[in-house]
Structure 1
Amino acid sequence: MKHKEYRRVVTGHNAEGTAIIESDQMASQMLERPNRPGVRLTNFWLTDQTPAEYDGPTETCTGDFILHPPQHGSVFRCVEFMPEDPEVMARLSSEDGANAFAEMGAGANIVQGGRHPWMHRTDSVDYGIVMNGEIWMLMDNEEDDVLLKAGDVVVQRGTNHAWANRGTEPCTIMFVLIDGVTQAGGGKGIPPR
Structure 2
Amino acid sequence: MPTNLEQYPNLRRVVTGHDESGKSIVMIDAPCTYHGADGDSWRVQDIWRSAVVPAPIDGIEPDPVAGPVDFEIPTTGVSVRITDIPPTPAGSEPFMHRTNSIDYLHVLEGEITMLIDDLETKIILRKGDTMVQRATDHAWVNHTDRHCRLFICMVAGRITPELEKAIGKMPEWDPNHRRNG
Name which of 52, 56, 69 aligns with 1:53: 56
Moved over 3 A (4+): none
Residues 138 and 161, structure 1, Cα contact 8 Å, conserved in 2: yes
Residues 126 and 155, structure 1, Cα contact 8 Å, conserved in 2: yes
Structure 1: which 5+ residue stretches go unaligned? 94-115
RMSD: 2.2
| Count of residue pairs the alignment pairs up | 163
TM-score of the pair, normalised by structure 2: 0.80
Q: How does 1:31-180 map to 2 (within 5 A)?
A: 31-33=35-37, 38-55=41-58, 57-86=61-90, 90=91, 92-93=92-93, 116=94, 118-180=95-157
**CA displacement at 1:58 relative to structure 2:** 4.1
* Amino acid aligned to 2:131: V
Secondary structure, counterpart of 1:145 in structure 2: strand
The corresponding residue for 2:176 is none
Q: How does 1:3-14 map to 2 (within 5 A)?
A: 3-14=8-19
The reply to whether residue 191 of structure 1 matches residue 169 of structure 2 is yes
**Matched residues in 2 for 1:50 and 1:146: separation?**
30
**CA displacement at 1:4 relative to structure 2:** 2.3
**CA displacement at 1:169 relative to structure 2:** 2.2
Structure 2: which 5+ residue stretches go unaligned? 172-181
Residues 131 and 173, structure 1, Cα contact 8 Å, conserved in 2: yes
**CA displacement at 1:9 relative to structure 2:** 0.6
- For residues 121 and 33 of structure 1, do their structure 2 counterparts lie closer, same or farther at Cα, with a shift above 3 Å needed? farther
Question: Identity across aligned pairs (percent)?
Answer: 30
**Matched residues in 2 for 1:18 and 1:192: separation?**
44
